[in-house]
Amino acid sequence: MSQPNEPGIASSAVTRFAHDLLAAELPALPPDRRADAVGFVVRRVESLPSIMRFGVSTIGLSVDAVGALVGRGRMRGMITRLPLPLLAEYPRLVRSLGFAYVWETWPDTLVDGGAAS
């Protein structure tokens, strides 16, 4: 699995989470497209209104920190499945932004993220 490598955002918790989520849910999305989509998600998160941005960053950092202990995949799976108020909004936001970007930019993308032949 490729890793995000853009300078400046590579260390961001949101970047890691978005990268992992897209890799898990759109496994065939080519790495360059995934990097573009992650970049879009992070730019949008950075331009959120102040309070939303603070909330998303706080949740992102917490998820990242706990994920470092219990495993990021396990943590992502847990908050994606469980109907936890606010916390569940985090993967929902990242998925919504990422998927909207992928299909708006490459409308012929397959359901697993693969490029149409």
Partner 1 sequence: MTHHDCDVLVVGSGAGGATTAAILAEAGHDVLILEEGPWVEQGEVRPFSLAQMDKQYRAGGVTVALGLPSIAYTEGRCAGGGTEVNSGLYWRPPEETIERWRSRYSIQDFRTDDLLSICEEVEEELSVQKVPGEHTPSSQIMRRGADRLGWKNDEIPRWMAYPEGAGATEGTRQSMTKTYLPRAFAAGARILCEHRLDAIVRTGRRAVGAEASHDGESVTISFRDIVVCGGAIQTPAILQRAGFRHRIGRTLAVHPTVKLSARFENEVNTPDDVSVYQVKEFSPNISFGGSASHPGLVALALTDNWRDFGRAVTSWPELAIYYAAITSEGRGIVQTIPGVRDPLVTYRLTKRDRDLLGQGLARLAMVMLEADAEEVYPSFKGAPVVRNRADISTMASSFAASKASVMTVHLCSTAPMGDDEKRCATDSHGLVHGSDNVYVNDAALLPEAPGVNPQASVMAVAIRNARRYCDERAG
Q: Does 19 bind partner 1 (CB under 8 A)?
A: no
Q: Which is nearer to partner 1, 23 or 97 (CB)?
A: 97
Give the relative orientation of helices 72-81 and 89-105 as an angle to the nearest 10 degrees: 100
What span, in angstroms and rounded, lies between the C-alpha atoms of 94 and 99? 8
Of the candidates 58, 74, 92, 115, which one interacts with partner 1 according to CB under 8 A? 92
- 82: contact with partner 1 by CB under 8 A: no
Give the one residue of 1, 51, 69, 82 binding partner 1; rule: CB under 8 A.
51
Whole-number Å distance between alpha carbons of 117 and 107: 13
| Selection from 103, 25, 12 nearest residue 53 by Cα | 12
Residue 111 near partner 1 by CB under 8 A:
yes
Among residues 14, 22, 29, 99, the one that binds partner 1 under rule CB under 8 A: 99
Distance CA 51, CA 48 (A): 8
Residues that bind partner 1 (CB under 8 A): 25, 40, 43-44, 47-52, 83, 85, 89, 92-93, 95-97, 99-105, 107-111
